[in-house]
Amino acid sequence: MSFLNRRIIYSFGVISTLISGCVVSIAQPESISFVEFATARTADKYSQAGGTRSADFRSVCDYHSDPLAARVLREYGAIFSATQTVKVPKSCIFENAQAVSEFRKSLDAVSEKIDGTVITLQREAMADLNLAVGIANKRGVRITPLDGAIAGDRTYEDTLKLWRSRFEPALRYWTQKGKIKRAEADAANDLSPVQQVSRVVEWESKGFYFSTGFNRSIFSSVAPPGTSQHLSLLAFDVVQYGSAEVRRILNEHGWYQTVIGDEPHFTYLGVKESELPKRGLRSVTRGKSRFWIPAM
């Protein structure tokens, strides 16, 4: 168990004062709420940089006052529970391509071929992925990237393109169905990506879903621009996600499914599964897959 984990478990009383009433009840001694863990981690980061020890996780993600930030944190926030030896974003939403570029400059990233496809990840994530691929080969199964290089690294422009591939067809579909007025659709096309996401969240609350099949949330189909874990080089999409043996091997090497509904997507958390509840995550089973999501 890491020093941070021991300190969190030992110091619940101190941490609870940092997060101003956001603590949830803890069922087991070695479990912790996601906000508690993320707050403690943020405070440690600021302290190590010479800043204030009382820094709140809301400086990273304003989940209290921004509904979109809260939604993004619930859907993709598991990345903030990753091992401290990799770097996680300074914000749960990158505002633009420049923000992604600035963050990338701080990363120790490497590019290697996986099944003939060049994949770029943070160094530690790549090392454990290579170990998993090697073990899989020995056990007679394969771990290969889904949809080429974007199985790993994605640029802000990549996420914007993927967003539009869902947003625009769904907007046309619901406009033709008469559920969204033509004037509203035209106005939505002119919004910034972040504003579009907020508008989609509003429409989906009325049952007008923006996934590929128009029957579930767009969040289960594609990450909105600036929110994808791929931007941080800590995600990898796998062709063989349906194989229990592949999932087991990836889990053994720190890779877990963390986005409900996106089964091919694995996030590098870099710790044993038994450590995940201590890092503010809880498991949810959907079909044959077990997802680890923020316990909020």
pLDDT in tens, 65-92: 888 899 999 999 999 999 999 999 989 9
Asked, for residue 162, whether it belongs to a domain, the answer is yes
pLDDT for position 1:
42
pLDDT-derived band at 54, boundaries 50, 70, 90: very low
Distance CA 119, CA 123 (A): 11
pLDDT for position 2:
39
pLDDT in tens, 178-198: 999 999 999 999 999 889 999
pLDDT for position 39:
87
Q: Residue 21: is its pLDDT beyond 50?
A: no
| Percentage of the residues of the chain whose pLDDT score is greater than 70 | 86
Rounded to two decimals, the pTM is 0.82
Asked, for residue 212, whether it belongs to a domain, the answer is yes
SS3 per residue for the chain: CCHHHHHHHHCHHHHHHHCCCCCCCCCCCCCCCHHHHHHHHHHHHHHHCCCCCCCCHHHCCCCCCCHHHHHHHHHHHHHHHCCCCCCCCCCCCCCCHHHHHHHHCCCCEEEEEECCEEEEEEHHHHHHHHHHHHHHHHCCCCCCECCHHHHCCCCHHHHHHHHHHHHHHHHHHHHHCCCCCHHHHHHHHCCCHHHHHHHHHHHHCCCCCCCCCCCCCHHHCCCCCCCCHHHHCCEEEECCCCCHHHHHHHHHCCEEECCCCCCCEEEECCCCHHHHHHHCEEEEEECCEEEEEECC
Q: Per mean pLDDT, which range of 9-18, 86-95, 152-161 is the poorest?
A: 9-18
pLDDT in tens, 206-261: 999 999 999 999 998 889 999 999 999 999 999 999 999 999 999 999 999 999 98
Asked, for residue 142, whether it belongs to a domain, the answer is no
pLDDT for position 251:
98
Distance CA 152, CA 150 (A): 5
Q: Please compute Rg for the chain using Cα positions.
A: 19
Asked, for residue 147, whether it belongs to a domain, the answer is no
| Distance between start and end Cα atoms, the chain | 23
Please state the domain count of the chain: 1
pLDDT-derived band at 32, boundaries 50, 70, 90: confident
Q: Residue 29: is its pLDDT beyond 60?
A: no
pLDDT for position 55:
60
Q: Which amino acid is at 202?
A: E
Asked, for residue 23, whether it belongs to a domain, the answer is no
Give the domain range for residue 183.
Answer: 156-220
Asked, for residue 180, whether it belongs to a domain, the answer is yes
Asked, for residue 167, whether it belongs to a domain, the answer is yes
pLDDT-derived band at 30, boundaries 50, 70, 90: low
Paired with 119 in beta bridges are 112
Asked, for residue 58, whether it belongs to a domain, the answer is no
**From the CB of residue 217, how many other CB atoms can be counted at a distance below 10 Å?**
17
Q: Residue 19: is its pLDDT beyond 50?
A: no
pLDDT-derived band at 14, boundaries 50, 70, 90: very low
Average pLDDT over residues 48-72: 75
| Percentage of the residues of the chain whose pLDDT score is greater than 90 | 72
